[in-house]
Amino acid sequence: MLTSDQIKAYALNELGVDKIGIANIERFEDAPDFSDPKNIMPNCKSVIVFLLRIPRGCYRGIEEGTHWASYTVFGYTGIARRLVQIGYNLSKYIEKKTGHEAAVVSSATTVPERGPRGNAVEGKARREVSVHHRIAAFLAGLGEIGYSKVFLTEEFGPRQRIGVVLTELALDPDPIPIPHICDRCRLCVNSCPGAMSKTETVTCTLEGIDLEWVQLETGRCKQAHFGFDRKTSPFFVKRFPGVYMPMEKQENTWLQAHDLGHALFDAQPTLAALAHHEFYLAVCGARGCHRACMKHLEIRGKLKETFEKKVFAPMKYWELPEEPEPTKYHGLTYGPGEEMPDEVDFFSGGSWY
């Protein structure tokens, strides 16, 4: 029979995960109902959680304002795909070696509008539930949920993504460390384009530990991630210079923001190219929740993974003007005094992003 140590050694050495921990199912007693692993696997005994680090260099192009593809393609969706493959190999390994079931859990259905809906079976949880990956990672002893709601580890700070495998195999759990990485500096909130509430938080108690993270407006986060924030995205503003959608006024749901993005990507050459390659874009480059937090933790010397250049970049960001300038070109109409060009070529590249 496989032990916790054997599973961890396989995942670390053969599958290349960067960190792995295990929670027993009892720890999920106080977790939100919709994310109880037993909804998915009624005889689940253990929840295995593993992490893949996001290379620090993936954020570099967005930080410099020069290149958006690395983070989107490698740091965002590419790592998510690798997690699925690792989960598949790990669950196959457990089933083959022990005869106990193992299931990879995707977070793909956790968006409320796409997630839990309807009751497939009377008296059972609604269908398409998932496991809250960050809570699972916390309960498996891998780190803590920061004020930003992003999972933080001692090694990488906010730079990782999470995979989850449920199994009916009973395994020794890891201890849960008391949260100590996040110091509530709120730089994540202050650097976010406007998706994090300035006042409201979410609280819960798990395994006797009180947790609190910021209330996140997922529709606004999606809009910023899809490049509609004029301060942090040069794409939308170039194509639709007269349209101003201040983040704090946006009431779109996640799905509406998502659909708006996919309706408009084709009109913005860089985003069209990215969207044809990846379904999800990450134009804001996790400016507050990852990059500001990473810089802060590096400045404080809090992270175990260190670099020659000790701190990724100064806290100050480049920023584009937030509001349209009235005398400038708006859409297909020039302002007073502006000359109309003979031809407008939207797709020739040139000064376009």
Nearer to ligand SF4, 176 or 284 (CB): 284
Q: Can you name the residues that pair with 105 across neighbouring β-strands?
A: 164
- Distance from C-alpha of 213 to C-alpha of 149, rounded to nearest angstrom: 5
Among 37, 141, 143, 288, binds ligand SF4 (CB under 6 A): 288
- 63: Cα separation from own chain's centroid: 17
- Distance from C-alpha of 237 to C-alpha of 310, rounded to nearest angstrom: 34
111 binds ligand SF4 (CB under 6 A): no
**Terminal-residue alpha carbon distance, the chain:** 56
Among 7, 136, 142, 289, binds ligand SF4 (CB under 6 A): 289
Q: Which stretch binds ligand SF4 (CB under 6 A): 15-23, 290-298, 312-320, 337-345?
A: 290-298
Q: Can you name the residues that pair with 202 across neighbouring β-strands?
A: 213
281 binds ligand SF4 (CB under 6 A): no
* Cα separations in angstroms, 13 against 95, 164, 174, 292, 334: 19, 18, 19, 32, 61
User: Binding residues for ligand SF4, how many (CB under 6 A)?
Assistant: 26
* Spatial contact of 130 and 106, defined as CB atoms under 8 Å apart: yes
Considering only residues 129 through 188, tell me which ones interact with ligand SF4, judged by CB under 6 A: 146-148, 182-188
Nearer to ligand SF4, 10 or 312 (CB): 312
Q: Is the dihedral of CA 13, 17, 19, 21 positive or negative?
A: negative
224 binds ligand SF4 (CB under 6 A): yes
Nearer to ligand SF4, 2 or 185 (CB): 185
Tokens of 292: 């500001």
Q: Which stretch binds ligand SF4 (CB under 6 A): 8-16, 129-137, 263-271, 284-292?
A: 284-292
21 binds ligand SF4 (CB under 6 A): no
- At closest approach, how far in Å is the CB of 192 from ligand SF4? 3
Contacts of 174 (CB under 8 A, 6+ apart): 4, 21, 22, 23, 140, 141, 142
**CA 299, 305, 309: angle at the middle one, nearest 5?**
55
Among 7, 192, 281, 303, binds ligand SF4 (CB under 6 A): 192
Q: Which letter does DSSP use for residue 223 in this model?
A: H
Among 296, 298, 303, 353, binds ligand SF4 (CB under 6 A): 296
Among 31, 102, 129, 292, binds ligand SF4 (CB under 6 A): 292
47 binds ligand SF4 (CB under 6 A): no
Among 47, 49, 195, 281, binds ligand SF4 (CB under 6 A): 195
235 binds ligand SF4 (CB under 6 A): no
300 binds ligand SF4 (CB under 6 A): no
62 binds ligand SF4 (CB under 6 A): no
Nearer to ligand SF4, 74 or 334 (CB): 74
Among 293, 303, 312, 353, binds ligand SF4 (CB under 6 A): 293
Query: SS3 string of 267-336?
Result: HCHHHHHHHHHCCCCCCCCCHHHHHHHHHHHHHCCCCCCCCCCCCCCCCCCCCCCCCCCCCCCECCECCC
Nearer to ligand SF4, 226 or 240 (CB): 226
Q: Which position's Cβ is nearest ligand SF4?
A: 146
Tokens of 202: 């979410």
Tokens of 341: 């060009």
Say how many C-beta atoms besides its own lie within 10 A of residue 328's C-beta: 12
Binding site for ligand SF4 (CB under 6 A): 146-148, 182-188, 192-193, 195-196, 216, 221, 224-225, 284, 286-289, 292-293, 296
